[in-house]
Structure 1
């Protein structure tokens, strides 16, 4: 009897050794229990600089949470998809994350087009969709499971109009915008506020994403007797705009948006952008965050969306910690709506009844030489 028992124990021990050895040599090691976070970002194409920046900030936040016990003892696992700032790619990414990976949350999208395209999928499946730099006003009413910690274009467009009218004392504005949700949202808000202040919109011209020739639109603007050009487009289109503006000898004051806050623009256009002004979200930033970014990227550069994506991860993790089941998306949703006066690296965050930021503060920068300097107009 004892002999049989010893043989049985020996066989079990041998099987365990074989299993562990096989796992080691094949790499099929059983993973610990994690909570999957879906991440969608433009990692290639337009705004890839910002997408990669947000990815770094998200990874920093996850590393901090995981090293401090995770979410109720479970670590966060990131599943990252590239949207290329394209609605179709966004839908493909969302379908994979929701239906195959079964993530409870998707975080990180910068672009409004993919965000709006993904929103119905997230809403129908009760998956949290938390955008970190998508700013279209349409996102406000995209659904109960849709959140963002970046302000609506209604804020930025209105602020751009106030700067143009009150500080720069311009009265006749030409508007040149990209035909996407982001461009339309900012443009509409600017026009509305500029006219409310007493200004006139002299001409309104548009272009498609990826446009390489804006000379027709700029020639019309040159003939419009405008004293200001309000430009809304991504960084690649901004480079084309600035280069062709100079080629046509147009010296009209330019006001733009946060997409001008990309070092690649000055690298390509040099002094041609001198004097141009743009608005961007004001973020106080903590020293710890600045140090963490420098440690991870080797650079002091903090692009738009990076602080917001960092805060978003912590907001979601905190919400999950308050849920009996941290993957219960209805509970996560309800906890996110309770966020009031949260002290993040972007400042004090309060989520309103639409899942939006309750307030937003903006700063102004101006191109001077090879720098973009914050100014008080």
Structure 2
């Protein structure tokens, strides 16, 4: 349970500050009593390396930048301004460790970052030892908050979100007896999630008839897809990272693999423009629904269109934006950059607006983000309807 005295103190701080409930609202005319003029936020993200990973990191960074701009432009923290200290961690564990050492030397007040779980886990001991409040942006594997009480996560552990959705999908597509699996082998997160997905389907009596992997630099996966097709599964379960989605699903169509597909999360508008027709009737669960009107998602999309990069927003821009705003709310509630106070304020956040709906942070410091089950019909993302989905034909 939350500490009641802490909750009262934070509520008082919020009232005194005139704190808004979500991004994009004015934060009062006076600076917070204990906040400095410049607040340094470290932003270690994977901005280079394999295209699929660098694309995710770049999107996360752009979401963080968007939030920082809005926080500063609206005076959410009074006259205090967010200063981002960005570092490319290059999808490498050692780079991540060196980035944290540098950010610690630069005396950042908090960190908003990390694209890959292994890199974070390598750097987390130093973060915890230094007592730096850290909001991880796009980590989809478990073990993040377990590394220490200064560690937080915005993006949910998809190993807890996807398997229950797969169970519902399997029950809607009745008669499934066999399954094949294809995932990105150079992603520990993808491998971990796929293991859980496979386990839940096998628990329903669905027999595994094939398993294949690929890596993020592959441009041709037809051989793996053909091998899986020859196994004649009733359903194909896939787990590519976003940068590989179009490649995988276009080639799936090319080899004539037309069974139902339980897909990976986070199909972007760009992916749909390239492979939407090939993804007809795919079902999947995602942490962020771009069509949602919950929280301040509509505001985020509008603000992104006006001030972001000239491309459609994805879950990763949304995650970067929500992560940075969460830290801003904590700074405002704490009224200081004292690291323990900011950590405690983060842990006590509840009911703040975000593109993921209204969120708070649970007892294990994870944002209360719930997945949304979706389906692609005629190249458009729609809500999954278990009554109608089995009638959708590829």
Place the TM-score, normalised by the shorter chain, in its bin: 0.7 to 0.9
Please report how far the alpha carbon of residue 190 of structure 1 lies from its aligned counterpart in structure 2 after TM superposition. Answer: 0.9
Which residue pairs with 2:84 in the alignment? 78
On the 8 A contact 1:50/1:303 being kept in 2, the answer is no
1:351 aligns with 2:358: no
In structure 2, C-alpha distance between the alignment counterparts of 1:166 and 1:213, rounded to whole Å: 32
Partner of 2:107: 102
Q: Give the deviation of 1:161 after TM superposition.
A: 1.4
Figure out how many residues of one structure are paired with residues of the other and give that number: 342
CA distance in 1, matches of 2:145, 2:191: 15
Match of 2:119 among 114, 118, 121: 114
Q: Quickly say closer, same or farther: Cα 1:166–1:121, change in 2 above 3 A.
A: same
Pairwise CA distance, 1:114:
2.7
Cα-to-partner distance string for 1:111-165 (whole Å, 9 max, x where unaligned): 3333333322212222222112211012242222211121111233214412431
Deviation for aligned residue 1:94: 2.5
Cα distance, 1:262–1:87 mapped onto 2, change above 3 Å: farther
The 1:85–1:372 alpha-carbon spacing in structure 2 relative to 1, beyond 3 Å, is farther
Higher relative contact order by CA 8 Å / sep ≥ 6: 1 or 2?
2
- Partner deviation per Cα, 1:296-338 (whole Å, 9 max, x = no partner): 1375822013233222222212222333641x22221122111
Q: Does 1:365 align with 2:375?
A: yes
- Quick one: distance in 2 between partners of 1:36 and 1:293? 23
Give the C-alpha shift of residue 270 in structure 1: 5.9
Closer/same/farther in 2, CA of residues 178 and 87 from structure 1, 3 Å limit: farther
TM-score, normalised on structure 1?
0.80
User: Aligned with 1:137: secondary structure?
Assistant: coil
Gaps of 5+ in 2: 1-35, 390-394
Partner residue in 2 for 1:34: 38
Whole-angstrom CA distance in 2 between matches of 1:227 and 1:81 = 45
Report matched runs for 1:255-270 at 5 Å.
255-259=262-266, 261-269=267-275
- Whether the 8 Å contact between 2:109 and 2:132 is mirrored in structure 1 is yes
1:251 to 247, 258, 274: 258
Partners in 1 of 2:336 and 2:258 — Cα distance? 59
Alpha-carbon separation, structure 2, partners of 1:129 and 1:35? 14
How does 1:155-234 map onto structure 2 within 5 Å? Answer: 155-169=160-174, 170-179=176-185, 180-234=187-241
Supply the distance in 1 between the matched residues of 2:248 and 2:297 (Cα, whole angstroms): 35
Please give the alpha-carbon distance, in whole angstroms, between the structure 1 residues aligned to 2:96 and 2:315. Answer: 20
Q: Which of residues 305, 320, 328 is equivalent to 1:309?
A: 320
| SS across alignment from 2:143 | helix
1:53 to 48, 59, 65: 59
- Cα pair 1:56 1:296 within 8 Å, conserved: no
SS in 2 for 1:334: helix
Cα drift, residue 76 of structure 1: 0.9
Distance 1:243 1:150 in 2: 27
Q: Which consecutive unaligned segments of at least 5 residues does structure 1 have? A: 1-31
CA spacing shift, 1:88–1:207, aligned 2, 3 Å:
farther
Matches of 1:126 and 1:297, distance apart in 2: 32
CA contact (8 A) 1:165 1:199 kept: no
Match of 2:69 among 60, 63, 66: 63
Per the normalisation by structure 2, the TM-score is 0.77
